[in-house]
Amino acid sequence: MKNTYTKTFKRSIAAVAVSTVLGMGVANADNLVGTVTITGGYSADYTVKAVNVATGTKRTVELNADGSYRLTKMPSGQYKISVMKGGDVVAEDTARSSLGTNAVTNFEVVETSNTEVIQIVGSSVATIDISSSDSGLIMSEVEIDRMPIARNITAVAMLAPGVVKGDYAFGNSASFGGSSVAENICYINGMEVTNTRNGLGCGQLPFEFYKEFQVKTGGYSARYGRATGGAVNATAKSGTNEWEFAATATITPDSLRSTNEQMSIGDGGTGNVFRDMNVNEQNNKEFTVSVGGPIIEDKLFFYALVNPRDSSRQFGWNTSFFQEYFSHNQIRT
């Protein structure tokens, strides 16, 4: 006798997510840093201004005595960086701020005293951040969309060196450097979303809502406390000055999965089948539709995403084997 259990999740709106961003937004990345080397002038006369190309948000900071500057907690994105003197732009370059990194942009300016003309000698952008000692990986949505990986946080984490999938009995979780899957910590937009009940896994958004991922495998700072495994830090998308519309569909039919097998066990190696996984079946469908844009240009934006999903699963087992096995091996007192 074989019983089959079927569980079906009806099609529903699994997530309706709206993100409204005011000013600099809620998803901070890291720092824009660099040095302005001034010949024939004084650093006190200069300031550095950074403008987010997508949102128009501006930040200005004065130069330090040694000509260095540091703009902290900048949302990830493309920036136009300008060296200013008396309201005039004397040098300009672009840099991209990514989650958890320092974007370094250096300038060299020569001031001629006779004609008060400031000449840009050159600028450089450092592509390697030597100010941080942690190890890991940073991935944006553009890079992930080009990769044939599953659309979930664990699949992204496994792209980092030393990260493998944990035992399936604990769900879809990752193991960092041999640590337990319960030793990790997760953040979305700076908020901890680790499963606080048992430490297994992360609270998640619909995958298409993610903008950038930072996976830390070691050497990270004390702000990622209560973690001895790894850290996953993600940011969500938000609206910009540009109107954007997107639609995606992910369909995983059972017909394209690998062939299931039979699992057997028996007294004395008889090989009785106790679970026939040939009858197992799993079908998944997921769709997303999103829209984002400005409400007030350079000041107020919105981003909304709808994520309907349909999932059905079926699995079976052999009840006659269990009845025979446990009656034969019942505990005697």
Q: What token pair was written down for 109?
A: 């300016």
DSSP one-letter code for 194: B
Summarised one tens digit per residue, pLDDT across range 25-73 is 334 457 888 889 888 888 888 999 999 999 998 999 999 989 999 998 8
Residue 95 is predicted with a pLDDT of 87
The answer for residues whose C-beta is within 8 angstroms of residue 198's C-beta and 6 or more apart is: 182
The pLDDT of residue 87 is above 90: no
DSSP one-letter code for 76: S
Residue 14 is predicted with a pLDDT of 37
What the chain holds in terms of domains, given with CATH numbers, is: 1-25+238-333 (no CATH), 27-126 (2.60.40.1120), 133-237 (2.170.130.10)
Q: What angle do CA 77, 71, 294 make, to 5 degrees?
A: 40
Helices (H), 140-224: 141-145, 153-157
- Distance separating alpha carbons of residues 179 and 203, to the nearest angstrom: 20
- Distance separating alpha carbons of residues 252 and 259, to the nearest angstrom: 14
Q: Which of 51-65, 180-194, 273-287 has the lowest mean pLDDT?
A: 273-287
Number of Cβ within a 10 Å radius of residue 230: 27
Q: Which of 99-103, 136-140, 175-179 has the lowest mean pLDDT?
A: 99-103
The answer for residues whose C-beta is within 8 angstroms of residue 143's C-beta and 6 or more apart is: none
Summarised one tens digit per residue, pLDDT across range 104-117 is 888 888 877 654 54
In the chain, pLDDT over 70 holds for what percent of residues? 73
pTM for this predicted structure = 0.69
Q: What token pair was written down for 63?
A: 């130069």
